[in-house]
Amino acid sequence: MTENILCRVRDLTKLYGTVEAVDRLSFDLHKGEFISIVGPSGAGKTTLLRLLADLESQDSGEIRFSEKPSREHPVVLVFQDFMLFPSMTVAANVAFGLRARKIRRREIKERVAQLLSSFGIADKATKYPGQLSAGQQQRVALARALAVRPRLLLLDEPFAHLDKTLKMDTALFLRRMLHEFGITAVAVTHDLEEAFAMSDRVGIMIDGELKQLDPADAVYSRPASLDVARFLGPVSRFPARLLDFMETDAAVDELRRGINGSEVALAAPHFCRAESMGVVADPEGNGVVEEVRCIGVLVLYRVRLSDGANEHILNVFSLESGLEAGTRVRVRVTQVFREEQNV
């Protein structure tokens, strides 16, 4: 096994009855790496964690560690509800796994002090979990997990109980801590922003299959399939001929030149993300705003555009508000994917 690889997963499959919760997953996990697996509910994410933690047995395939987990360096799974001991202080919670391993008292004290300081909760050492905020409890749970120096840290929806702002702050903090301690970690989450912020690589899991596992920027800019792109946010799917009715930039123009004039090629499905499109009010434009939705800092426009034979509904994100339903617009696109190249 390559020196930098901690774990190899090959053709991992888990069945519940006739349902394939995990379907022939294969990937390598590198030492010191932080991977996040995202996907819809029921995609098999938590089952994958339980298989890695040896809490479930696979039906086929293998999980092979280059350095076998041990009592001194175990695989640790941190659940989303923290599972802190309410009758123990913060320091006692963090020390629990060390005491169970009969580590020397002085070493326990030193490790606990270092972790509480690193996690910014040294002043909470004598407090009890019920006296802490959700964010502080999260840090205690993570410190307790790192205290035993895990071979692999597994996180199940680690920030599910935190509000949006605290999620992002904690995700960035956790990334720094794990890199500082050299811990390899796999997290599962529904939150894309959280996953992209804290991970070295992001995996998209749908219907038990790992559809893509790449650095975050590659997952975003080069989705492996329409399913992956749809999970990342609103997309529009349309035939290549519709590009002739939009304003395009150089990258899209190059793609268009690669399409020959045959009817099959012009009808071939393409897709793009909502943020790759823009609209400008134009009385002569051939697009019409059908619906306007404010979704925070962005406005989602649903735009109807004809290719001369059929009408298509496009999803367009914009920072600019002010267009109303019924407004005629020009549509611009800056990035398009050929569907047959992303399956």
153 and 253 share a domain? Answer: no
Per-residue pLDDT tens over the stretch 236-267: 999 989 999 999 988 788 777 777 666 667 77
Prediction pTM value: 0.86
159 and 264 share a domain? Answer: no
Number of domains in the chain: 2
218 and 252 share a domain? Answer: no
Task: For Cα atoms 218, 223, 224, give the angle at the middle one, nearest 5 degrees.
Answer: 110
167 and 49 share a domain? Answer: yes
224 and 274 share a domain? Answer: no
Query: Cβ of 215: how many Cβ atoms within 10 Å?
Result: 13
Q: For tokens 């001929």, what's the residue?
A: 241
CA–CA separation, 265 and 307 (whole Å): 14
User: Which residue range(s) make up the domain with 161?
Assistant: 5-231
225 and 91 share a domain? Answer: yes
Whether pLDDT at 172 is above 80:
yes
Give the C-alpha distances (Å, rounded to integers) separating 261 from 256, 266, 267, 304. Answer: 10, 7, 10, 24
Amino acid symbol at 248: T
241 and 176 share a domain? Answer: no
Query: What is the three-class DSSP state of 47?
Result: helix
User: What integer pLDDT is reported at residue 343 of this predicted model?
Assistant: 40
214 and 256 share a domain? Answer: no
What CATH number is associated with residue 207? 3.40.50.300
Per-residue pLDDT tens over the stretch 43-92: 999 999 999 999 999 999 999 999 899 988 999 999 888 889 999 999 99
Whether pLDDT at 28 is above 70:
yes
298 and 151 share a domain? Answer: no
* Boundary (domain end) residue, out of 231, 256, 280: 231
324 and 202 share a domain? Answer: no
Please name the helix (run of DSSP H) or strand (run of DSSP E) that holds residue 64, with its range, or none: strand 60-65
Query: Cβ of 250: how many Cβ atoms within 10 Å?
Result: 8
Spatial CA neighbour of 238 closest among 291, 311, 289, 301: 311
CA–CA separation, 220 and 228 (whole Å): 9
* Boundary (domain end) residue, out of 231, 247, 267: 231
175 and 286 share a domain? Answer: no
Contact 49, 156 (CB under 8 A): yes
Per-residue pLDDT tens over the stretch 122-140: 999 999 999 999 889 989 9
Q: For tokens 């030149």, what's the residue?
A: 257
User: What integer pLDDT is reported at residue 260 of this predicted model?
Assistant: 64
160 and 300 share a domain? Answer: no
* Boundary (domain end) residue, out of 198, 214, 231: 231
* Cα–chain center distance at 73: 26
Task: Render 293-329 in DSSP notation, one character per residue.
Answer: EE-SSSEEEEEEEE-SS-EEEEEEEES-----TT-EE
What CATH number is associated with residue 272? 2.40.50.140
Contact 318, 278 (CB under 8 A): yes
Query: What is the three-class DSSP state of 16?
Result: strand
What's the pLDDT band for 342 if we cut at 50, 70, 90? very low
CA dihedral 125, 132, 115, 37 (to 10 degrees): 160
